Structure 1
Amino acid sequence: MPRSRGTNSQLNDNEANVMIAIREAGDNGIYGYDIIKVVKVNTCEHVSLSAGKLYPMLHRLEKSGYLKSRWGDSEDDTYGTGGARRKYYQLEAKGEEAIEEFLKGFPEKYKRIIEESHRPADIQDCPFPVPI
């Protein structure tokens, strides 16, 4: 998997977006569908992850020690009767360090993306990585 251009980060842009969404959730964790929604909002709707991309990525990040997960119980799962049990994700210390490393190189990388891309200037207003 290619790493983020222009940084020394171990994360690619989508992984960083996902982990930032998980970090925003705090100690309670966040489940997959909500991660997808948060990433979309954080990137001004320029990044839309599918479940088919997200869940293998979450598995890899967990296996690499960046994340931990837990299955929700009936109090956590408000999906409704008969709904699937939710798996909640939280950052490990290694994940927090990886995000910080990613964000160190982010401003320079972001400036290059704006200058080099043919994408609309409105991505300048987005707070988080917008992959090209």
Structure 2
Amino acid sequence: MEDRLKNLRHSMDKTKFNQLNFSDQLRKKIHKRIEKQNESKESIYLAVLQLLANKKTGYDLTKLLRSRGIQFFEEDEGNLFTMLHSFEQNGYLLSNWDENGAKHYQISRRGKNLLQQSEKNEMQKRLVVKQLLER
């Protein structure tokens, strides 16, 4: 593997790639995007459902997701609201507007059932892995 990487590096030095320069700012931005992609959408969806056990605004939800280390919505919070709207349309969330014009979201009974099923499946996966490791 090392030789292949060295050969790749050597061939890149002979091409236009050797003229590419990235600023530190651009490098950081690229690394952030890569980190975001590593967060599985499934785990993000489950985190959202878990956090909406009690009523929360989108802003409150964003802060809580950040506190869990989920950066998927960091630069584009509009995606969060698109996801919330989709969950609401599919019956997984309920929402209402308060007197100040803020929209509050909360998990519905259907959403709770989905969340319980996913947690049950996760527990089953852990048991299988545990059994595999014990043998």
Q: Same fold (TM over 0.5)?
A: yes
Uncovered stretches (5+) of structure 1, i.e. residues with no partner: 6-10, 75-84, 113-132
The corresponding residue for 2:97 is 71
What is the TM-score normalised by the length of structure 2? 0.55
Determine helix, strand or coil for the equivalent of 2:71: coil
CA distance in 2, matches of 1:40, 1:96: 22
Higher gyration radius (CA): 2
8 Å contact 1:67–1:95 — kept in the other structure? Answer: yes
State yes or no: 1:19 paired with 2:49: yes
Determine helix, strand or coil for the equivalent of 2:52: helix
Corresponding letter in the other structure for 1:30: K
Higher helix share: 2
Moved over 6 A (4+): none
Let me know the Cα RMSD of the aligned residues. Answer: 2.4
Determine helix, strand or coil for the equivalent of 1:90: strand
The corresponding residue for 1:89 is 105
Q: Percent identity?
A: 25
Determine helix, strand or coil for the equivalent of 2:99: coil
The corresponding residue for 2:114 is 98
Corresponding letter in the other structure for 1:95: G
State yes or no: 1:38 paired with 2:89: no
Provide Cα deviations, 1:70-123, integer angstroms capped at 9, x if missing partner. Answer: 01113xxxxxxxxxx2100011100001111111122436x97xxxxxxxxxxx
What is the TM-score normalised by the length of structure 1? 0.56
Q: Which has the higher contact order (CA 8 A, sep 6+)?
A: 1
Corresponding letter in the other structure for 2:102: R
8 Å contact 1:36–1:48 — kept in the other structure? Answer: no
8 Å contact 1:30–1:89 — kept in the other structure? Answer: yes
